Amino acid sequence: MKKFIVRFLLVVVLLALGFLIGSEFRSYDKKLSSKKASYASEFFGIDFNKDELDINLNKLNSLRNNYEKIRALEMPNSVIPSILFNPIPQGFEFDNNQQEVKWSKHDNVQLPDNPDDLAFYTVGELSVLIKNRKISSVELTTFFIDRIKKYDPKLFCLVTLTEALALEQAARADTEIAAGNYRGPLHGIPYGAKDLLNTKKYKTTYGAMPYKDQIIDMDATVIKKLEEAGAVLVAKLTLGALAMGDVWFNGVTRNPWDTTTGSSGSSAGPASAVSGGLVPFAIGSETWGSIVSPATRCGVTGLRPTYGRVSRNGAMALSWTMDKLGPISRSVEDCAMVFDAIYGSDDIDPTLYEAAFNYTPEVDFSNLQIGYIKSVFDRDTTNKAVNDVVLNTMKELGAELIPFELPEFPVYDISFVLGVEAAAAFDELTLSNRDDLLTRQDRGAWPNIFKSSRFIPAVEYIQANRARTILIDKMAEVMKEVDVYIAPSNGGSSLLLTNLTGHPCVVLPIGFENPREPNSMTFVGQLFDEATLLAVAKSFQDATDFHKQHPKMD
């Protein structure tokens, strides 16, 4: 009996101590929360007095409960926000008068004496060979599959070889063409897709270890449209993990011109594969330089379309207001052919706009205003020799170059919208700590960007997007001066600014500072006027031979 009483009293004492300790912790936690609120208000540059802090503290704690309930909802990467970005400036009018698209004529295209040379034919040239049945799609597809198997160990640009699907699609193309059912210039042409585009029965890894075995059993709209055009998917190609850089879960994708260096990114695999002759064209994506940068490094041509031109349904979301899909290929007109197949609305992506694409390869410079960003050209003395070639060539073609400047605006100060949207797109990764599986963990890598972006207030995110509205209108005002403008790809604010406003650009090779380091130039066009932009860029490219140069792969 005495032992029972002793034990009972001991339990009572322990419970009392626990209550007192818990009360102290609750009091301490409340003080700590108040202190945190004070620190937060100071950090965000807002002056609250003690009474205001105390009043708002309960509201903040209540909001945290709201956050927890929202986090409990199932929201895969494919769920888009109900607030949509609008890149259209005030008074903008769409051209909806669609006319017949015209392509350059490729007369007398023959198979090369050296079969390896076929790897560097343009889409236009390959299409003539296939249409005239000088080579079958199965033969061409097998040729590129063999090159992928041979050279990927050097380039690390392949995630998944879709060999069975490719041979099936190629055989279907040959049957259709033999029956006289020719679908157009992409019919029977092999291609690769950046591995953030969903494909039935094949993995879509996002280049990131947490998703390396992910299968989303659907085809992205772009994949469907290319299949409708008769193109043949041979490979899912690498991207830097979650669309940053060239580092993915199996290593670094290489630049074919110098395999000791990376191919840049995030469309690392598409640029590397096209440059090395592993595919004639590939689909990449850009949020802030992810087509322009690897195309520059690998010496190939890329088109970043206007925001709202190409469906992103079935593509990994990084930034709902900045993501764009576009082709990487050997030539400007190759990009035009691919764009013609993939642009336009679908029934799922609500961010798309209808506009005509009236491409023709001829251009009359007497009717066009071509600008160049004078301050950037003057400042870019490192690449002056190759930059001067571009300006001089344009003048020889008949273009009257107009000194042009972008609107003065704090574009880098609003660029955090990308980090905020990316953090939301991959919030589950952060909350589950699976971001620890990503290869890169340095200060500028996604795991830390995701975390730091959580400290950006929703009010500031909205304010930044209101600032984008001002920027869009300012850009529309200065673009009244030109139809197209030219800018060094890595100079000035043009790259970020036009990704924020949604303007289209073409990036193309312009020569070398040294034999293993290609340079590029960017041509930027009016919103939804890819036709004029591509025609102007093609005119320059046809007057040079930089796009015909390719790395020696053996």
Residues labelled as active-site residues? 194, 266, 290
* Residues 492, 338, 193, 167, Cα dihedral to 10°: -160
Q: Is 152 helix (H, G, I), strand (E, B) or coil?
A: helix
- Structure token pair of residue 18: 């626990």
* Residues paired with residue 281 on neighbouring β-strands, in sequence order: 329
Cα→Cα distances 140→204, 256, 306, Å? 25, 21, 32
Distance (Å, rounded) from C-alpha 386 to C-alpha 392?
10
Dump strand ranges (E) for 116-189: 158-161
CA angle 187, 191, 195 (to 5 degrees): 140
Q: What is the DSSP letter of 406?
A: P
Residue 424: left (phi > 0), alpha (psi -120 to 50), or beta? alpha
Nearest by Cα to 194 from 273, 124, 305: 273
> b/e string for 136-147 if b means 16 or more Cβ within 10 A?
bbbebbbebbeb
Strands (E), 242-306: 247-248, 251-252, 254-255, 258-262, 281-286, 301-304
Q: How many CA atoms are closer than 13 Å to the CA of 314, on its beta-carbon side?
A: 24
Distances (CA, A) of 331 to 125, 171, 344, 396: 11, 27, 22, 21
Give the SS3 label for residue 428: helix
Q: How far apart are CA 56 and CA 39, in angstroms?
A: 14
Measure CA 492 to chain center.
20
Q: Within 13 Å, how many C-alpha atoms sit on residue 195's CB side?
A: 36
